[in-house]
Amino acid sequence: MTARRGTTGRTGAVGSAGTAGAVGTIWLVGMMGAGKSAVGARLAERLARPFVDTDAEIARRAGATIAELFATRGEPAFRDLERDAIERVAKGADAVVALGGGAIAQPDAARRLAARGTIVYLRARPETLAARVGEAADRPLLAGLDAAGRVERIAALLAERSPHYESARVTVDTDALDPDGVAARIEEALGVAGRAPVPAATRTVEVPLGERSYPIRIGLDILDQAGAAIAETTKARRVAIVTVPEVGRRYAARLERSLQAAGVTSVRLVVPDGERSKSLRVAAQLFEKLVDFDADRSTAVIALGGGVVGDLAGFVAATWMRGVPFVQVPTTLLAMADASVGGKVAVDLPRGKNLVGAFHQPRLVWMDLATLRSLPRRQRAAGLVEVIKHGVIRDAALFERFERDVERVLDLEPGPTLDVLERSCQIKAEVVGQDERESGLRMILNFGHTLAHAVETLLGYRKLLHGEAVAIGMVFAARRSEALGLAPAGVADRIEALLQRAGLPTALPDLPRRAYLEALRVDKKRKDEHVRFIALRELGKVEIVPLLPAEILPRGAVGRAR
């Protein structure tokens, strides 16, 4: 097992710890504000272990706050009480323990803790720590300091203690994570994941676009809370919900109730299912409905459904009165992994997909994984391709996670599904944040899509789902990258094996080479005669290489994609 995302290389050292028993008591160390108590409580719950917060324990026994103990008895006396508390915990059953910030810096402490379990360091930048601690009247080491002074003091303490913290077997960077996210990272590094009870967690990923930044909320059974969040982020008192019959029948009433509870009036606009609704004709019908609804510039549009609804409703939101607030409530895995994040909205013309559109970022993306349960398995697998793609292009650890858990994600087991979707959204958010309008970096998201589009054109969009075509295209791109000497041998096999486990097609349909070449030439990503081929360098890393269609598909390549 190699190092996981968000953890240091040192996690490799505990890769063989397959059971909670081998891990022993989990000692959480780190500065004040690192989140030891919050993370510890969540981790203990997930692992069904006792949780001990040594500071709280000491305060309870002494009948005084830590600040009072420091003030009346001094630090050495406090450290004695702390050592006793640790000894008591260590004698009991394997627990999760949040230690005081200075505990591990005491003589011999690291050795004693390591002998009885596993030390995990929750790392964060001084600014993050200071922000989390806030005014902190109860933090004796920060007493009497203003905001700048607190950051400085924390930075100094951190510098002093870092060598002790860094001796932990596992380090997790917590700056961008909520307590559940940190807990999941620890489970992963220690190999104790999966023993956790169903996490009732909600994860948040921020899409960093300055004034247009917005949160993606990912959770299980969170549809009933969408209304309040929509009201807050859009400030709208009236909203139009665009959906398709099947999705509307299952989920719209819950969304409407939660909006109503938040004081928001809604209207449900149902369009026919399928890509054909992504048209100017259906958009025009929606505009008429908005007139009927007396919609104005403060009315928000909500997309409830898959990528078709998202693109269509987004297009309407972008153009109605020159743009109104937009919210995505994606209900397919494809829409969650790809279509709902990034602000690309469009409708099709008879002569081509997505030819009329805009960039119009949503104010909020609300993903309730529970809605995926009604999604047919074939649709789920196809949507998963884009999630796996994010691992292939940007994060080998995410890819490896799939190599372990792809079946569990397909079964929508909450823990692994939340984890991979969160990571996938982080990757998409990061790429979109750096290149909103696809002038450079964002193009890497098209990995596997050059051939996918050709296959879709040639087969006529009916035979294969988009994700299935991308699966074929990714394996092809990886194989071509190997053949061109850009990627190490073997990666294409790994990608193919993983996709096949998800039941996805991977072989290029056996069509004449000249048909493929023709399809590549009309691909809209063409630049002069060259096609911007996204080549694989290694798992987690891609590169844009301009190639001629004939170089992408040399003689003999078709029919031998394997």
Ligand X SMILES: NC(=O)c1ccc[n+]([C@@H]2O[C@H](COP(=O)([O-])OP(=O)(O)OC[C@H]3O[C@@H](n4cnc5c(N)ncnc54)[C@H](O)[C@@H]3O)[C@@H](O)[C@H]2O)c1
Residues 6+ apart with CB under 8 A from 21: 94
Residues in 232-251 that interact with ligand X by CB under 6 A: 244, 246-247
Annotated active-site residue 322? The verdict is: yes
**Cα–Cα distance, 260 to 231 (Å, whole number):** 10
Q: Tell me how crowded residue 490 is: count the other CB atoms within 10 A of its CB.
A: 11
Does 255 interact with ligand X (rule: CB under 6 A)? no
Q: Which is nearer to ligand X, 202 or 331 (CB)?
A: 331
DSSP-assigned states of every residue in 307-376: HHHHHHHHHHHHHGGG---EEEEE-SHHIIIIITSS-EEEEEETTEEEEEEEE---SEEEEEGGGGGGS-
Contact stretch for ligand X (CB under 6 A) within 54-62, 113-121, 209-217, 268-276: 268-276
Q: From residue 275 to residue 314, what is the string marking binding to ligand X with x (rule CB under 6 A)? A: x--x--------------------------xxxxx-x---
Name the residue nearer to ligand X (CB basis): 431 or 557.
431
Instruction: Confirm or reject binding of residue 430 to ligand X (CB under 6 A).
Output: no
Q: Fill in the per-residue mask, 379 to 418: x = in contact with ligand X (CB under 6 A), - = not in contact.
A: x---------------------------------------
Contact 132, 37 (CB under 8 A): no
In the complex, minimum distance from the CB of residue 165 to ligand X, in angstroms, rounded to a whole number:
41
| Shortest distance (Å) from residue 327 CB to ligand X | 15
Q: Is 45 a catalytic residue?
A: no
Q: Is 117 in the site for ligand X (CB under 6 A)?
A: no
CB of 467 to ligand X, least distance (A): 7
256 in catalytic set:
no
Identify the helix (H) or strand (E) that includes residue 430. helix 414-434
Beta carbons within 10 angstroms of residue 285's beta carbon: 15
Using CB under 6 A as the binding criterion, the count of chain residues that bind ligand X stands at: 29
The helix (H) or strand (E) run that includes residue 123 is strand 117-123
Q: How many whole angstroms separate alpha carbon 486 and alpha carbon 478? A: 9
Separation of CA 278 from chain center? 27
Of the pair 68, 246, the CB lying nearest ligand X is at 246
Among residues 203, 453, 479, 480, which one is catalytic?
Answer: 453
**Furthest CA-CA distance within the chain:** 86
The answer to whether the beta carbons of residues 494 and 505 sit under 8 Å apart is no
Rounded alpha-carbon distances, angstroms, from residue 63 to 57, 66, 70, 73, 81: 10, 10, 13, 13, 13
Distance between CA atoms of residues 362 and 352, nearest Å: 25
From the CB of 246, what's the least distance to ligand X, in Å? 5
> Residue 45 CB, nearest distance to ligand X (Å)?
29
Catalytic residue among 442, 468, 482, 496: 442
SS3 state at 42: helix
Residue 273 touching ligand X (CB under 6 A) = yes
Residues 454-483 that bind ligand X (CB under 6 A): 466
C-beta separation of 504 from 382 below 8 A? yes
**212 belongs to the catalytic site:** no
Residue list 329-368, contact with ligand X (CB under 6 A): 331-332, 334-335, 338-339, 342, 344, 353-354
Q: Please report, as ranges, the residues that interact with ligand X according to CB under 6 A.
A: 244, 246-247, 273-275, 278, 305-309, 311, 331-332, 334-335, 338-339, 342, 344, 353-354, 371-372, 374-375, 379, 466
Catalytic residue set: 322, 344, 386, 428, 438, 442, 446, 449, 453, 466
